[in-house]
Amino acid sequence: MVAKLKHYIDITDAEHKLLGALEKTERSTSAGEEIFAGGDVNKNLFVVKYGWLYTYTNLPDGGRLVVRVYHAGDIIGMPALAFDHHTVNLRAVTKGCLCPFPKSELDVIVKRAPRITALLFTIAAREEAILVDTLRAASRMRPESRVAHLLLGLHARLKITNSQMGNRFRLPLNQTDIGDAIGLTNVTVSRTFSIMEKKGLIERVDGEIILIDLCELERQCDFQDRHAAMDTSWFPSS
Amino acid sequence: MVAKLKHYIDITDAEHKLLGALEKTERSTSAGEEIFAGGDVNKNLFVVKYGWLYTYTNLPDGGRLVVRVYHAGDIIGMPALAFDHHTVNLRAVTKGCLCPFPKSELDVIVKRAPRITALLFTIAAREEAILVDTLRAASRMRPESRVAHLLLGLHARLKITNSQMGNRFRLPLNQTDIGDAIGLTNVTVSRTFSIMEKKGLIERVDGEIILIDLCELERQCDFQDRHAAMDTSWFPSS
DNA sequence: CGTATGATTGAGCCTACTCAACTATTGTGG
DNA sequence: CCACAATAGTTGAGTAGGCTCAATCATACG
């Protein structure tokens, strides 16, 4: 996580030490494992060391909504900071490793490291902007644009921690998961992928996705990369 | 705003003074006025003194998505904290009054008032949880549940600052606005309201909404009140 | 090699959309 | 105060796109 935060601001030794405390505990996850469920008592946040995970909620009609996909360097559980119970479920997609830390450790950061606090605040704000983008795409766009938005979002996210990645990446989600993330059935996801491949927008090779026509993909879902830059101009001095 | 924050934690005189600084500038708004547009340079956040407003974005196909409705005591612009440009548009629904304050004033709070910082952080986290609820309802539920969710959300929000309100409130949004907020057309909103009225779930009198069968409304959209309580247990001492 | 999971494809249906006409309400200027 | 315009809401008819159901094909794994 420190590596990811360094991307945005310089971090002093003292700050580094405070952040290190958040990653002192480790917990490995196996593919498909349920880490916590909505309604569980919520004392911890999690930093992702590696692996893919997602949060989801069940819908009253039996459906399922995949809220957000997480990768190495992400912090899981910010929205739940406001409540003493979890609001969503967390599931590991692949093998991975998490660092749980109690909410209460944040108080030290808030008290002693105003720059880190501001940065975390900003990251939370960005999460909200990303969620609005998701709402835009998943509730109001045609299937092709929804898929495009999901793929571009994952790609932009993965590029931060893996800059020489190119336009190709492994996608460990099945089509039902994808459908639950963008509000389609697995059937429609399948048909949509086929159409996009036929159009020359993407390719699928060995369970990896290749984004062939990035420009057209970005155009059709009005994509904004929320990861590239953040406004740190208002931050206090350290 | 101070009145609203007091709801959750005690506020010392020093903290009160810092917060007061955020509300020293005022700006009145007229009904239908556009306050800012997505892409505008973003230096200010806004505290709502009174009036109704909403943020929205335009969709690539010409549609519109109403993201969030704001009332007295709300802070507008948290998600934009992460960027130097606005990510959405803001429009006033009714006459009202806003207190704009520069982002840079937050740095003083982050440095000097850790409890207030923690509280603002928590409010941002709650906004995210609310947005997930919106995503759930607006992208995946039947029209009736979507309307129910919107009405209950507004009602829960208005109750905080107006505790003896009962189950009746004025709704200054037209059916096109409502549709844009929950992913329906004005036509479907009209039909849905009629059905819900016929079923005895709600009533409409003089442009006001009366929630007749609260339990059934809550049941059918799986409603959670995110405003009632917040977890402040992890906050630092002041 | 057999089983389980995941992906593809086809047929038919259903729901919210579009288009359009009409009614109701609100606001404004003469 | 009335006439007119503009905005908002209602209702009907027909359409279309994504869903459901179901069968088949592909791949991975023990």
Residue A118 pLDDT? 93
Residue B136 pLDDT? 98
What's the pLDDT tens digit per position in B56-114?
999 999 999 999 999 999 999 999 899 999 999 999 999 999 999 999 889 899 999 99
All CATH 1.10.10.10 domain ranges in chain B, comma separated: 140-221
CA dihedral (A86, A88, A91, A97) in degrees, to 10, reads -40
User: Which homologous superfamily does the CATH classification assign to the domain defined by A2-114?
Assistant: Jelly Rolls (2.60.120.10)
Query: Which strands form A96-102's sheet, in the order they lie side by side?
Result: A27-29, A96-102, A44-50, A75-76
B140-221 — its CATH code? 1.10.10.10
Residue A4 pLDDT? 79
Contacts of A95 (CB under 8 A, 6+ apart): A28, A29, A30, A31, A51
> Which residue of chain B has the CA closest to A104?
B234
Most B CBs within 10 Å: which of A128, A144, A146, A237, as the mutation test of the B interface?
A128
Residue B4 pLDDT? 79
Per-residue pLDDT at B154 exceeds 90: yes
What's the pLDDT tens digit per position in A67-87?
999 999 999 999 989 999 999
Q: Read off the pLDDT of each residue in B216-238 and give the average, rounded to a whole number.
A: 92
Identity (one letter) of the amino acid at B162? N
The CATH-assigned architecture of domain A132-221 is Orthogonal Bundle (1.10)
All CATH 2.60.120.10 domain ranges in chain B, comma separated: 2-131
Q: What mean pLDDT value characterizes chain B?
A: 93
Number of H helices, E strands in chain B: 8, 11
- The integer distance in angstroms from the CA atom of A195 to the C1' atom of D24 is 20
Q: Is the CB of A51 under 7 A from strand D?
A: no
Name the residue among A102, A120, A127 with its Cβ closest to that of B128: A127
Per-residue pLDDT at A162 exceeds 80: yes
What confidence category does residue B162 fall into, taking pLDDT thresholds of 50, 70 and 90?
confident
Residues B57 and B64: beta-carbon distance below 8 Å: yes
DSSP-assigned states of every residue in B194-215: HHHHHTTSEEEETTEEEES-HH
- Show residues, CB within 7 A, near nucleic chain C: A 174-176, 186-187, 190-191, 193-194, 204; B 142-143, 179, 183-185, 187-188, 207
Residues B45 and A193: beta-carbon distance below 8 Å: no
A88 contacts in chain B (CB < 8 Å): 132
All CATH 2.60.120.10 domain ranges in chain A, comma separated: 2-114
CA distance B153 to chain A (A): 16
Q: Is the CB of A143 under 7 A from strand D?
A: yes
All CATH 1.10.10.10 domain ranges in chain A, comma separated: 132-221
The fold adopted by the segment(s) B2-131 is Jelly Rolls (2.60.120)
What's the CA angle centered on A163, arms A157 and A167, to 5 degrees? 70
What's the pLDDT tens digit per position in A177-212?
999 999 999 999 999 999 999 999 999 998 899 999
Q: Is B32 exposed, middle or buried (0-12, 13-18, 19+ CB in 10 A)?
A: exposed
What's the pLDDT tens digit per position in A89-143?
999 999 999 999 999 889 899 999 999 999 999 999 999 999 999 999 999 999 9
Distance CA A145, CA A150 (A): 9
